[in-house]
């Protein structure tokens, strides 16, 4: 098994060769960056407003315009559609977008060295709304509970809920045959845990190319209520209620799906793939406290990349506690302009870290860091962080690296990544 | 592979033993953990009337030791197994760098193998529906008044990594993985990767499954994956027997401590259970649930090749052996392709014959048995394979086989096209 370059012991250089994204702003990264720059946001603006406009649903949401994305055409795909839930549809859609950029595997042999990693939450998007109805039915139905569930739970529901199932579809769409695994939320660092995992697969020589996919679907009400009790969710999406603001009121909800393809740089170069950026380092850490986890993850990526970033794409959850933790952990280590997407498209949980990485890749290319949505007055308790406000910040032409950080709600895990211009 | 990666500690909680030694003894003696699942009415299901859960007496001991806790039962089982493994590895703290954690917790549901808990959960969900309906806003308003149900669903998010970080005294590079029933082996492989890459010197691998309840059994019954055996319950899981009809759902937890040999030696630990060899991983995109011979063959060949071993250097295969019609014959055909005539001398072990199928946890439990086979030169019997399937034609035994074991090949496969295979070698200085 090849593990690192044999001659010098150095880890392989890794390129990002594909990105696909669907968010409340639309398809791709451009609409999000454009909205951030123009000060637009997407809370409660979509056609799909069932939850967020319901009078008793207290939290604004940045939902997808069209949550039901089309399933690929063809007989093979029609046969397996019954095994795919809504999240799988979105995962396949963004993966195909990313693969359009990255390009197909050159041969069957190459396909064996390509795989998938899926960032997953500990929940299903299907059973939660169904279980109450079945529980009510069970109160009067004469059938034993097991028989009732056998009869009434839709066929293949269990299989649709398997976290790594999306990965099999993604591999089918990408033509990858190497391996597939899901990384759950507890150590997921909003998707950066999956990216760190994928990076190890490439750097260890197990695979040459990995597609990392994450879908942040609407959280079921019980989980939202639990999150809200632990750390209040944002009740208002208006100026002054965004990340890092002194008047921020909590995380604003968002939904998104994202796929990022990473690949050994020499192989990407050899096959003429578009190399969008280099992924220099990515780590996710669990600890007894989120501050310890983020401090450790940030130190690790700074050391591994041997780079001081030119800007910091922060998680910026908008939560009073998490923003404080993030600034206390990162600001002592990194002095760079900071931005966040959460005031524009909300916190997309499992996919948030990957969404931010994808946005940072584009920002790095354009040498322009967009401002933080809904941020009016930075919280002085956060220290003298150089938040990008109101208008985009132009970077120097020599700027070439970005730090991305991410945190998990409720659990003490955090992730960090450093990307750099491909010229590096 | 540059570094020697060793298994230096092991822990288990299973239907047939709550320690490594008792689990091993049960395997050698052919003691079954399979029981008629009479805690719930399963009579109307087309299959799946037997399960293999942790005995009530063992649960009482664990609960008494654990005290009053809000933790999910699966996490408690996993902590129990990890504590055993850390003690077994003579871990006394003092780690100087972040440790690794690769873990799998199957069934992130509202109850473990406690049918009454699931009934209570359904009752609570039903009351919510009757009061508030399904409109998210109404459900939120209802739940904000209540506490209980949200606690159950929120427990899906586990604090296990945080708790283990506190126990080890260092932060963790951790991943909770899902690779369906190959998840345990995948955790082991990824732990080895962390060590090989120098990301950690000491890694905890843990997996748990606890889901013998109405929902899980009904859904596996929908898939017709469970045993339809109507005879004695202990015979319900019979890998490679011609009468096999499906698998048996199991409750169990397992934990392994992996470290570089150098790190273990520096801690004063010189004897180990096994040395990790190479592995093979694959994703099949042709079928969702059915295994394929060429995929099994591929991962086994890769594991052998990466280990630098020829097939005739493998002494025993620790099979996936689920007792389903298709899995066992598929695995057997692939074994014949890889081993050819050598299959006549390869002894095949199938732990699920006594424990049932513990999904991701199986990979860990079966690694424990594979490791002890290396150390002790004994291959446990497959006591339920009394009428071997000629179509499988693998060499199983009804009694323990005593023979030197230098190399074991271990397989795990799963729904969603998951395939994993790994080689374990006898360490230079094996644990007695």
> Among residues of chain B, what percentage have pLDDT more than 70?
97
Percent over 90 (pLDDT), chain A: 80
Q: Is A126 exposed, middle or buried (0-12, 13-18, 19+ CB in 10 A)?
A: middle
Q: Which of residues 227-246 of A touch B (CB under 8 A)?
A: 227, 229
Measured between alpha carbons, how far apart are the two ends of chain A, in Å? 28
Shared-domain flag, residues B131 and B270: no
Domain boundary among B154, B183, B212: B154
In a domain, B277, yes or no: yes
Contact A57, B136 (CB under 8 A): yes
CB A160 within 8 A of CB A87: no
Which of A118, A137, A288 is most worth mutating to test chain B (most B CB atoms within 10 A of its CB)? Answer: A288
Taking CB atoms and an 8 Å limit, are A296 and B140 in contact across chains? no
Among residues B175, B203, B193, B205, the alpha carbon closest in space to that of B263 is found at B203
Phi, psi of A300 (to 5 degrees): -60, -45
In a domain, A150, yes or no: no
Nearest to B306 among A1, A54, A226 (CB): A1
pLDDT band for position A50 (cuts 50, 70, 90): low
Preferred mutation among B45, B136, B194, B280 to probe A, highest tally of A CBs within 10 A: B136
Chain B residues lying within 8 Å of A156, measured CB to CB: 222
Q: What are the backbone angles phi and psi of residue B14, rounded to the nearest 5°? A: -140, 170
Q: Is B11 part of a structural domain of the chain?
A: yes
- Rounded CA-CA distance A22/A97 in Å is 10
Other Cβ atoms within 10 Å of A5 Cβ, number: 14
Q: Looking at this predicted complex, what is its ipTM?
A: 0.96
- Least CA distance to A293: which residue of chain B? B171
Q: CB–CB of A54 and B135 under 8 A?
A: yes
Distance from CA of A165 to the nearest CA of B (A): 6
Supply the pLDDT for residue A143.
98
Contact B255, B360 (CB under 8 A): no
In the annotation, is B402 catalytic? no
Q: Is the residue at A346 inside a domain? A: yes
Question: Which residues of B fall within a CB distance of 8 Å from A206?
Answer: 193, 281
The C-alpha angle with vertex B78 and arms to B73 and B82, in degrees rounded to 5, equals 150
User: Would you say residue B412 has pLDDT above 80?
Assistant: yes
What's the length of chain B?
432
Residues of A in contact with B193 (CB under 8 A): 200-201, 204, 206
**A220: contact with B, CB 8 A cutoff:** yes
Q: Are residues B324 and B285 in the same domain?
A: yes
Given a contact cutoff of 8 angstroms between Cβ atoms, the answer to whether B48 and B250 are in contact is no
Q: Answer yes or no: do B285 and A193 touch at CB < 8 A.
A: no
B432 domain-assigned:
no
A 10 A CB-CB count for A390 gives 11
H-type alpha helices, A60-185: 75-80, 86-102, 108-111, 127-138, 145-152, 157-160, 165-174
CB A285 within 8 A of CB B170: no
User: What φ, ψ does residue A127 adopt, rounded to 5°?
Assistant: -75, -35
- Domain shared by B320 and B290, yes or no: yes
A154 at B interface, C-beta within 8 A? no
**Longest distance between any two alpha carbons in chain A, whole Å:** 73
Beta carbon pairs, A and B, within 8 Å: 285
Total domains in chain B come to: 2
Residue A152 lies in a domain: no
CA distance B237 to chain A (A): 21
Shared domain for B145 and B199, answered yes or no, is no
Q: Of B47, B349, B357, B385, which one is the catalytic site residue?
A: B357
Q: What's the structural domain count of chain A?
A: 1
Asked if residue A7 is part of any domain, the answer here is no
- Rounded alpha-carbon distances, angstroms, from residue B153 to A255, B74, B276, B400: 20, 14, 38, 44
**Residue B226 DSSP symbol:** B
Judging contacts by C-beta atoms under 8 Å, the chain A residues touching residue B152 are 222
- Show the domain range for B136: 115-154
**pLDDT grade for B228, boundaries at 50, 70 and 90:** very high
**Residue pLDDT, tens place only, B240-260:** 999 999 999 999 999 999 999
**Cα end-to-end span (Å), chain B:** 26
- B98 and B122 housed in the same domain: no
What is the three-class DSSP state of A1? coil
- The overall average pLDDT reported for chain B is 95
pLDDT digits (tens, 9 = 90+) for A146-179: 999 999 999 999 899 898 999 999 999 999 999 9
Beta bridge mates, B226: B247
**Token pair listed for A147:** 């028989």
Which DSSP category does A397 fall into?
T
**A224: part of which helix (H) or strand (E)?**
helix A221-230
- Would you say residue A8 has pLDDT above 50? no
From B47, B79, B181, B392, active-site residue: B181
Beta carbons of A341 and A362 less than 8 angstroms apart = no
Q: Is B159 helix (H, G, I), strand (E, B) or coil?
A: coil
- Minimum-distance CB partner of B98 among A54, A179, A285: A285
Provide the CA A158 distance to its chain's centre, in angstroms. 24
Pick the range with the lowest mean pLDDT from A302-306, A379-383, B62-66: B62-66
- Are the beta carbons of B223 and A226 separated by less than 8 Å? no
Token couple for B291: 């295994």
| Residue B430 included in any domain | no
Closest residue in chain B to residue A122, using alpha carbons only: B156
Q: Which of B79, B214, B263, B320 is catalytic?
A: B320
Residue-wise pLDDT tens digits, B307-363: 999 999 999 999 999 999 999 999 999 999 999 999 999 999 999 999 999 999 999
Does residue B412 share a domain with residue B371? Answer: yes
Pairing between strand A413-420 and A401-407? Answer: antiparallel
User: Tokens 């940045």 correspond to what residue?
Assistant: A62
In a domain, B387, yes or no: yes
Q: For residue A116, which of A41, A197, A46, A2 has the smallest C-alpha distance?
A: A197
Q: What percent of chain A has pLDDT over 70?
A: 94
Cross-chain residue pair B122–A186, CB shorter than 8 Å? no
Q: Are A321 and A328 in contact (CB under 8 A)?
A: no
Strand partners, B25: none
pLDDT in tens, A180-239: 999 987 656 889 999 999 999 999 999 999 999 999 988 888 888 888 988 999 999 999
A235/A233 Cα distance (integer angstroms): 6
3-state helix, strand, coil in chain A (%, to 5): 40, 20, 40
Q: Are residue B63 and residue B133 in the same domain, yes or no?
A: no
Which stretch of A1-5, B3-7, B305-309, B424-428 has the lowest confidence by average pLDDT?
A1-5
Instruction: Say whether pLDDT at B397 is over 80.
Output: yes
Crossing angle, helix A320-330 and helix A290-305, to 10 degrees? Answer: 40
Element (H, E) at A19: strand A14-23
CA distance B207 to chain A (A): 14
> A53-67, A135-149, B20-34, B372-386: lowest mean pLDDT where?
A53-67
Q: Are residues B309 and B245 in the same domain?
A: yes
User: Three-class SS of residue A36?
Assistant: helix
What CATH number does the domain containing B262 carry? 3.40.47.10
The answer on B134 and B104 residing in a single domain is no
| CATH number for the domain that contains residue A275 | 3.40.47.10
Q: Judged by CB atoms within 8 Å, which residues 178-207 of A form the interface with B?
A: 178-188, 193, 196-197, 200-201, 203-204, 206
Residues 74-113 of chain B whose Cβ lies under 8 A from any Cβ of chain A: 98, 101, 108
- A162 touching B, CB under 8 A? yes
Q: Determine if the pTM surpasses 0.90.
A: yes
Q: How far apart are CA B157 and CA B160, in angstroms?
A: 9
Residues B109-153 have pLDDT tens digits of 677 899 999 999 999 999 999 999 999 999 999 988 886 545 545
B263 catalytically annotated:
no
| DSSP H stretches of helix in B133-182 | 136-145, 148-154, 160-168
Residue A136 tokens, joined = 């009510």
- Residue A154 placed within a domain: no
B222 and B75 in one domain? yes
Give the contacts of A270 (CB within 8 A, at least 6 positions apart).
Answer: none
* Separation of alpha carbons A33 and A30, rounded Å: 5
Q: Chain B closest CA to A33's CA: distance in Å?
A: 31
Residues B57 and B199 grouped into a single domain: yes
Phi, psi of B219 (to 5 degrees): -75, -40
In the residue annotation, B187 being an active-site residue is answered as no
- From residue A372, give the alpha-carbon distance in Å to each of A27, A116, A317, B181: 20, 32, 11, 43
Considering B97, B128, B154, which residue would you say is the last residue of a domain? B154
| Domain residue limits at A282 | 14-126+161-420
Residue contact B283–A168, C-beta within 8 A: yes
Taking residue B96's Cβ as centre, other Cβ atoms within 10 Å add up to 7
Question: Could you give the C-alpha distances from A265 to A270, A301, A309, B145, B153, in angstroms and in order?
Answer: 8, 19, 21, 54, 42
């Amino acid at each position: 098994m090849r593990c690192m370059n044999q001659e010098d012991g150095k880890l392989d250089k890794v390129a990002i060769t594909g990105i696909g994204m669907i968010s409340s702003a639309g398809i791709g990264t451009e609409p999000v960056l454009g909205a951030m720059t123009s000060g637009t946001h997407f809370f409660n603006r979509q056609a799909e407003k069932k939850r967020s406009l319901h009078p008793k649903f207290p939290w604004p949401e940045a939902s997808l315009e069209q949550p039901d994305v089309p399933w690929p055409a063809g007989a093979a795909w029609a046969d397996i559609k019954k095994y795919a839930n809504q999240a799988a549809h979105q995962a396949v859609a963004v993966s195909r977008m990313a693969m359009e950029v990255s390009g197909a595997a050159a041969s069957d042999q190459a396909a064996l060295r390509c795989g998938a990693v899926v960032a997953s939450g500990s929940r299903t998007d299907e059973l939660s709304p169904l279980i109450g109805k079945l529980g009510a039915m069970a109160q009067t139905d004469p059938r034993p509970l097991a028989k009732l569930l056998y009869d009434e739970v839709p066929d293949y529901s269990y299989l649709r809920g398997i976290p790594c199932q999306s990965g099999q579809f993604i591999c089918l769409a990408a033509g990858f045959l190497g391996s597939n695994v899901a990384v759950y939320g507890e150590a997921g660092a909003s998707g950066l845990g999956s990216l760190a995992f994928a990076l190890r697969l490439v750097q260890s020589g197990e695979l040459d190319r990995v597609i990392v996919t994450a879908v942040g679907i609407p959280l079921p009400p019980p989980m939202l209520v639990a999150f809200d009790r632990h750390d209040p969710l944002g009740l208002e999406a208006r100026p002054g209620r965004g990340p890092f603001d002194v008047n921020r009121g909590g995380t604003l909800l968002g939904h998104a799906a994202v796929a990022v393809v990473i690949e050994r740089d020499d192989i990407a170069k050899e096959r003429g793939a578009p190399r969008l950026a280099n992924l220099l380092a990515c780590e996710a850490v669990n600890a007894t406290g989120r501050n310890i986890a983020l401090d450790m993850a940030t130190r690790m990526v700074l050391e591994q990349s041997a780079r001081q970033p030119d800007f910091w794409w922060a998680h910026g959850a908008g939560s009073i506690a998490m923003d404080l933790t993030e600034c206390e952990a990162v600001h002592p280590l990194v002095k760079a302009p900071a931005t966040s997407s959460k005031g524009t498209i909300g916190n997309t949980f499992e996919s948030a870290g990957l969404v931010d990485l994808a946005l940072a890749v584009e920002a790095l290319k354009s040498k322009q860091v967009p401002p933080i949505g809904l941020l009016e007055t930075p919280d002085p308790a956060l220290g003298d962080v150089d938040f990008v406000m109101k208008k985009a910040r132009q970077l120097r032409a020599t700027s070439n690296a970005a730090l991305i950080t991410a945190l998990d709600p409720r659990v003490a895990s955090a992730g960090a990544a450093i990307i750099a211009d491909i010229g590096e | 592979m540059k570094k020697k990666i060793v298994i230096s500690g092991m822990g288990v909680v299973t239907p047939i033993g709550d320690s490594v030694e008792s689990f091993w003894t049960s395997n050698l003696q052919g003691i079954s953990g399979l029981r008629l699942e009479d805690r719930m009415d399963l009579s109307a299901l087309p299959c799946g009337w037997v399960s293999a859960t942790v005995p009530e007496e063992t649960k009482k001991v664990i609960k008494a030791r654990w005290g009053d806790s809000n933790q999910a039962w699966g996490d408690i089982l996993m902590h129990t197994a990890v504590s055993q493994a850390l003690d077994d590895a003579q871990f006394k703290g003092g780690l100087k760098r972040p440790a690794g954690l690769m873990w799998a917790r199957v069934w992130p549901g509202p109850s473990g193998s406690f049918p009454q808990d699931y009934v209570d959960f359904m009752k609570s969900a039903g009351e919510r529906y009757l009061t508030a309906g399904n409109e998210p806003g109404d459900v939120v308003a209802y739940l904000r008044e209540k506490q209980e149900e949200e606690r159950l669903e929120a427990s899906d998010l586990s604090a296990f990594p945080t708790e283990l970080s506190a126990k080890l005294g260092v932060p963790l590079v951790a991943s909770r993985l899902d690779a369906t029933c190959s998840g345990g082996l995948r955790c082991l492989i990824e732990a080895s990767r962390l060590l090989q890459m120098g990301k950690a010197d000491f890694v905890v691998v843990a997996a748990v499954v606890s889901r013998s309840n109405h929902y899980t059994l009904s859904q596996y019954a929908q898939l017709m994956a469970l045993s339809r055996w109507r005879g004695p319950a202990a015979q319900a899981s019979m890998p490679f027997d011609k009468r096999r009809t499906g698998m048996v759902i199991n409750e169990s937890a397992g934990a392994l401590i992996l470290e570089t040999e150098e790190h273990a030696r520096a801690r004063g630990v010189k004897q180990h259970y096994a040395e990790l060899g190479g592995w093979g991983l694959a994703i099949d995109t042709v079928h969702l649930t059915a295994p394929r011979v060429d995929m099994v063959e591929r991962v086994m060949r890769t594991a052998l090749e990466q280990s630098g071993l020829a097939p005739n250097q493998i002494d025993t295969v620790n099979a996936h052996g689920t007792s389903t019609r298709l899995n066992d014959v598929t695995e057997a055909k692939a074994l014949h392709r890889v081993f050819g005539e050598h299959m006549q001398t390869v002894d095949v072990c199938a732990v699920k014959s006594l424990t049932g199928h513990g999904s991701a946890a199986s990979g860990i439990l079966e690694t424990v048995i594979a490791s002890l086979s290396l150390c002790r030169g004994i291959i446990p019997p497959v006591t339920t394979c009394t009428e071997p399937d000629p179509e499988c034609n693998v060499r199983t035994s009804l009694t323990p086989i005593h023979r030197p074991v230098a190399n074991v090949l271990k397989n795990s496969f799963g729904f969603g096209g998951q395939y994993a295979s790994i080689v374990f070698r006898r360490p230079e200085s094996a644990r007695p």
